[in-house]
Structure 1
Amino acid sequence: MRVLVVHNRYSSAQPSGENRVVDEEVGLLRAAGHRVELFERRSDDIARRSLPGKVAVPLLVPWNPAVRTELAARLRAGRPDVVHVHNVFPLLSPSVLAACADAGVPVVATLHNYTQVCPPGTLHRDGRPCSECVGRTVPLPAVRHGCYRDSRPATVPLAVGLAVNRRRWWSGVDRFFCISAAQRDVLVRSGMPAGLLVVKHNFVPDPGVRREGDGEHLLFLGRLAEPKGVRLLMAAWDALAAEGGVGVPLVVAGAGPLEPEVTAWAAGRDDVRYAGLYGPDECREAVARSVAVVAPSLARETFGLVVAEAMAAGVPAVAAGHGGFAELVEDGVTGLLHRPGDAVSLAQCLRRIAGGPEGNREMGRAARIRYERGFGPAVGLARLEEEYRSVIAGRSGGGGAPPPAGESTGRKSTGSPRVRPRGRDGGSR
């Protein structure tokens, strides 16, 4: 198949699981013989723009007409079998959907977060879950609270884009890929058309290294930010240290806004090591040397790459018992789930996972089996190919898989004066 992948790459200053997922899927498809091309923008390029160019970026978030023109020309020059959309913020915008509608090309989109119902995509605010904007046509609460980067002006373009493009997404995408059933359930309850949403988990490449022995440390690997549960982990670890510790150190690896706080907290301690930002090889080695990987997110993660990567290395996880984690981790079998936001519960799980070597080894073996059956490359490739072929067949009249009985596909006019054939909104503005 010929596949065009559309993605706005996140800043290289922070590690991006989404960028990795896109790169790994592209590599997987190419290795299988599919012809994959990229239509990209890079957030890093914003810094090199002129001052007027930087000022204009927020205005282009809801709609970028130049991108529509460029992509339309690209599609005319070489029509792919399917377009796979990932992230369009901030430089691409939903105008990519209009270009695909003009060309009559099937479109699938991976939903890596909750931006279809929440402007910043997190369903999290001020250290707790938030659903104030869910179900609203205009997400004004997000603007009022300044949910994106704690800034009302920065949140406005996202809120406007969500409000004016919601129906465009629903009519312009043949199939949305949710990366967990937990995410799909939230989106369906939020009003997204259930018939457009299927579950396609992220896959994780085999790391080529697995844990030998019982492990050397507990590992937090991720962005050092409040929604990731970093402060919760520090509180739980301090409580454990006051009781004598768990016998192994905690390694914290990553970067983010809480880095100064984490650095100061870890300084001078024998039971904590702040390792900074690991490269890919260092990540694999650190995971494979772990007693367990710790993922105490306060936000409801849509998937949880670090947990799946631990499973691939035969390492159990201690994770918050909500969102995608509750789907990845079978409590007591492939890892342990703690009560979200509860430092006491987290401390109890850390003590248990580090204090029983035999049970830990059994969990590690079960985690590897779970990875092989659900999240390995062969499973990921088969699922991608299946969904691509289904939407292509549906467009060509071959009868792709129908939506479940009683579920709307959401394909109806959005009130635009230019509604394309097959009910697709042409996106004129």
Structure 2
Amino acid sequence: MHVLVVHNRYGSAQPSGENNVVDQEVALLREAGHRVGVFERRSDDIAGRSLLSKAALPLLVPWNPGVRTQLAARLRAERPDVVHVHNVFPLLSPAVLAACADAGVPAVATLHNYTQVCPPGTLQRDGEPCSACVGKAPLPAVRHGCYRGSRLATVPLAVSLSVNRRRWWSGVERFFCISAAQRDVLVRSGMPAGRLRVKHNFVPDSGPRRSGPGEHLLFLGRLAEAKGVRLLMAAWDALGGAAGVPLVIAGTGPLEPEVTAWAAGRDDVSYVGLYDAQQCREVIARSVAVVAPSTWMEAFGLVVVEAMAAGVPAVAAGHGAFTELVEDGVSGLLHRPGDAASLTDCLRRIIAAGPELGRAARLRYEQGFSPAVGLERLEEGYRSAIAGRTQPSGGNH
């Protein structure tokens, strides 16, 4: 097939699992013999814009007519079989869907988060689950300044959600949800169930595998409230130095000063900052377990699957996508969301566990998250979208 991938790349200052997923899917499709083009914008480029251009940017978030013109021209020239849309914020906008309609090319879209029903895409406010905007006008998000703590910054996202809701639902033949948990939320919000398919992200099987019991517990991700960093610190303190293995924290984010101060002078905690991709693979493979204590409803959980690929189990919050990634007591452990005592207990148990959890985690990866499985689901979704141009949508799939 001939596929055109559409993506607004996130800034390089923070590691982006979504950017990685897009790059890995493009490489996978090309290796399988498909012709794949990329139409992208980069958030890094915003810094080089003029002051006037930066000031006008919020006006283009709901609709960027220049992108519509450019993409439609490329589609007419190249005639791909299908367009695969990922992130469109802030430089592309849902105008990409109009371009697909202009050129008569079917579109599929991967929903990496909850931006279809929540302006910041997190379904969380002030560290707590929130569904105030689900299925209704997103005025609460503006009132609370849910995007970056700013009412002004939230307005373009809220406007885009409101004015483009029907365009998304009618302009996309198939949506890829990255977990069943995410799909359930979106169906309950009123999205068309017949167009929502579950397609878990895959992870390349190219990294090192764990040998032996592991050297440390690992938190790898953004240092933010939603990722459960403060919860982890409280749970670790409750262990009172009795873990027997150190905790390694890798990543950066708004809580970095707090994490740095907490880890300073301790021999049971090591804060290592931001690792590159190869360092991440190596530190995962040396882990007793990966800890993913997110307080928000993760739509997927890439680090958990990366751990599975390395034969490493996870301790994860028992909500959102984690409940379908981790089989509690078999391929990892699930703790009560937001409960430090429950997390402490799981950390203690995972340290004492034998190698069986790691072996089961690797088997779970092979059966559900390998490149072969990912390619099959991508191709199936594309064929379904192409066929859907001549068939009415409906029913659950």
Q: Note the alpha carbon deviations across 1:330-369, whole angstroms, 9 max, x for none.
A: 000000000000000000000000023x2xx100000000
2:351 match: secondary structure:
helix
TM-score (norm 1): 0.91
Deviation of 1:391 (Å):
1.4
Deviation of 1:143 (Å):
0.3
**How many residues are matched?**
397
**Aligned residue for 1:412?**
none
**Aligned residue for 1:153?**
152
1:41 match: secondary structure:
strand
* Residue 337 (structure 1) aligned with residue 346 (structure 2): no
The Cα RMSD (Å) is 1.1
**Aligned residue for 1:213?**
212
The share of aligned pairs that are identical, in percent, is 80
- 1:368 maps to a residue whose letter is R
**Aligned residue for 1:419?**
none
**Aligned residue for 1:309?**
306
* Residue 404 (structure 1) aligned with residue 395 (structure 2): yes
- 1:382 maps to a residue whose letter is E
Is the CA contact (8 Å cut-off) linking 1:207 and 1:313 kept in structure 2? Answer: no
Residues in 2 aligned to 1:336 and 1:213: alpha-carbon distance in whole angstroms? 19
**Aligned residue for 1:144?**
143
- 2:188 maps to a residue whose letter is R
Deviation of 1:134 (Å):
0.5
2:244 match: secondary structure:
coil
- 2:350 maps to a residue whose letter is I
Is the CA contact (8 Å cut-off) linking 1:111 and 1:179 kept in structure 2? Answer: yes
Q: What runs of 5+ residues in structure 1 fail to find an aligned partner?
A: 408-429
Residues in 1 aligned to 2:134 and 2:377: alpha-carbon distance in whole angstroms? 29
Is the CA contact (8 Å cut-off) linking 2:209 and 2:285 kept in structure 1? Answer: yes
**Aligned residue for 2:18?**
18
**Aligned residue for 1:276?**
273
- Equivalent residue runs for 1:254-273 within 5 Å: 254-273=251-270
- 2:371 maps to a residue whose letter is P
**Aligned residue for 1:199?**
198
2:299 match: secondary structure:
coil
Q: Which aligned segments of 4 or more residues in structure 1 are displaced greater than 4 angstroms?
A: none
**Aligned residue for 2:244?**
247
**Aligned residue for 1:81?**
81
**Aligned residue for 1:420?**
none
Deviation of 1:76 (Å):
1.4
* Residue 349 (structure 1) aligned with residue 346 (structure 2): yes
Residues in 1 aligned to 2:56 and 2:345: alpha-carbon distance in whole angstroms? 50
**Aligned residue for 1:233?**
232
Residues in 1 aligned to 2:159 and 2:381: alpha-carbon distance in whole angstroms? 31
Residues in 2 aligned to 1:231 and 1:291: alpha-carbon distance in whole angstroms? 21
- 1:331 maps to a residue whose letter is D
Residues in 1 aligned to 2:145 and 2:386: alpha-carbon distance in whole angstroms? 40
Deviation of 1:77 (Å):
1.1
1:83 match: secondary structure:
strand
2:203 match: secondary structure:
coil
- 1:333 maps to a residue whose letter is V
Deviation of 1:393 (Å):
2.3
Deviation of 1:403 (Å):
3.7
- Equivalent residue runs for 1:18-167 within 5 Å: 18-136=18-136, 138-167=137-166
Deviation of 1:111 (Å):
0.1
Q: Note the alpha carbon deviations across 1:97-150, whole angstroms, 9 max, x for none.
A: 0010011101000000000000000001101100000110x2000000000000
Deviation of 1:207 (Å):
3.2
Is the CA contact (8 Å cut-off) linking 1:246 and 1:355 kept in structure 2? Answer: no
- 1:280 maps to a residue whose letter is A
> Of residues 375, 392, 397 in structure 2, which corresponds to 1:381?
375
- 2:328 maps to a residue whose letter is D
Q: What runs of 5+ residues in structure 2 fail to find an aligned partner?
A: none
**Aligned residue for 1:418?**
none
TM-score (norm 2): 0.99
Residues in 1 aligned to 2:28 and 2:297: alpha-carbon distance in whole angstroms? 28
- 2:31 maps to a residue whose letter is A
2:213 match: secondary structure:
coil
Residues in 1 aligned to 2:167 and 2:261: alpha-carbon distance in whole angstroms? 47
- 1:404 maps to a residue whose letter is G
Deviation of 1:404 (Å):
2.7
Deviation of 1:387 (Å):
1.1
**Aligned residue for 1:367?**
361
Is the CA contact (8 Å cut-off) linking 2:67 and 2:92 kept in structure 1? Answer: yes
Is the CA contact (8 Å cut-off) linking 2:290 and 2:314 kept in structure 1? Answer: yes
Residues in 2 aligned to 1:44 and 1:91: alpha-carbon distance in whole angstroms? 11
1:135 match: secondary structure:
coil
1:193–1:394 CA distance, 2 compared to 1 (3 A): closer
Deviation of 1:182 (Å):
0.4
Deviation of 1:245 (Å):
1.9
Which 10-residue stretch deviates more, 316-325 or 385-394? 385-394
> Of residues 289, 295, 299 in structure 1, which corresponds to 2:292?
295
Deviation of 1:294 (Å):
0.1
1:163 match: secondary structure:
helix
Deviation of 1:381 (Å):
0.3
- 1:47 maps to a residue whose letter is A
1:224 match: secondary structure:
coil
Deviation of 1:386 (Å):
1.0
**Aligned residue for 1:319?**
316
Is the CA contact (8 Å cut-off) linking 1:254 and 1:276 kept in structure 2? Answer: yes
Residues in 2 aligned to 1:57 and 1:394: alpha-carbon distance in whole angstroms? 35
1:141 match: secondary structure:
helix
2:190 match: secondary structure:
coil
